[in-house]
Amino acid sequence: GESVGLHLPTLSVQEGDNSIINCAYSNSASDYFIWYKQESGKGPQFIIDIRSNMDKRQGQRVTVLLNKTVKHLSLQIAATQPGDSAVYFCAENIALDSSYKLIFGSGTRLLVRP
Amino acid sequence: NAGVTQTPKFQVLKTGQSMTLQCAQDMNHNSMYWYRQDPGMGLRLIYYSASEGTTDKGEVPNGYNVSRLNKREFSLRLESAAPSQTSVYFCASRPTRSTDTQYFGPGTRLTVL
């Protein structure tokens, strides 16, 4: 069935270190992927996206890598800060009859140690 | 520009009660979505509306109904609430293209006793 990132692991990093969060997706036809950040008590917030015709995209302190061969996404956060502590979700875009939907993984909790 | 707004923020119901969760977006987006998020899990799609006047089931539609009142508003109704519907509910919207970003509201935390 459809699935993205089946587990909710926790990644603990020291402030200032780089963080890498991984995600597996299942649908080879997905053409678009998004990373979201969710802080406690809030809705998911867009971080960065990538189209399937790319293998890397960079934003401010964040980089997303896409490996279509093994259906794997990663989110890299440079110089991790306490404000980066949150749950991170990857999502893959699935075409519907007249629209699109996102399939979400269960997320990864990032804890930043001061 | 408020983005996606949801009301109420919190709600406690007794089993069998009904209620409607409201969602509105001011970004002129065509598609709107309702998700639920259970503890330690990702978001699961309940219903979506590709455009004004259309609605379709998502992954977990049982026990829910929706109404796309106009382009701005998309409501979710629980006709007879059950404890299994205790969750956080998120509304989202996006334009039309496959590579358009989807934006989320702040969520409604619902507890069914």
Q: What is the mean pLDDT of residues A21-28?
A: 92
Q: Does A21 touch chain B (CB under 8 A)?
A: no
Interchain CB distance below 8 Å, B40 and A106: yes
Interchain CB distance below 8 Å, A96 and B94: no
Instruction: Report whether pLDDT(B15) > 90.
Output: yes
Residue labelled with tokens 């829910």: B64
> For B51-91, what is each residue's pLDDT tens digit?
888 999 999 999 999 999 899 999 999 999 999 999 999 99
Q: Does A112 touch chain B (CB under 8 A)?
A: no
Which residue would you say has higher pLDDT here, B89 or A28? Answer: B89
Q: What is the mean pLDDT of residues A11-15?
A: 96
Interchain CB distance below 8 Å, A43 and B56: no
Of all residues in chain B, the one with the smallest CA distance to A95 is B98
Q: From the candidates A8, A51, A102, A108, which should be mutated to test the interface with B, based on the most B CB atoms within 10 A?
A: A102
Q: What percent of chain B has pLDDT over 90?
A: 83
Give the model's confidence band at A7: pLDDT under 50 very low, under 70 low, under 90 confident, else very high.
Answer: low
Q: From the candidates A6, A32, A49, A99, which should be mutated to test the interface with B, based on the most B CB atoms within 10 A?
A: A99
To the nearest whole number, what is the mean pLDDT of chain A?
Answer: 90
Q: Give the pLDDT of residue A3.
A: 46
Instruction: Report whether pLDDT(A5) > 70.
Output: no
- Write out chain B residues lying below 8 Å of A31, CB-based: 98-99
Q: Give the pLDDT of residue B77.
A: 98
> For A94-110, what is each residue's pLDDT tens digit?
888 778 889 988 799 99
Answer for the pair A71, A28: CB distance below 8 angstroms, yes or no: yes
Q: Give the pLDDT of residue A73.
A: 95
Computed on alpha carbons and rounded to an integer, the radius of gyration of chain A in Å comes to 14
The shortest C-alpha distance from B110 to chain A (Å) reads: 13
Instruction: Report whether pLDDT(A2) > 70.
Output: no
The shortest C-alpha distance from B44 to chain A (Å) reads: 7
Instruction: Provide the pairing of β-strand B31-37 with B4-7.
Output: unpaired
Q: Give the pLDDT of residue A6.
A: 42
> For A78-92, what is each residue's pLDDT tens digit?
999 999 999 999 999
> For A43-65, what is each residue's pLDDT tens digit?
999 999 999 999 999 999 999 99
Instruction: Report whether pLDDT(B100) > 90.
Output: no
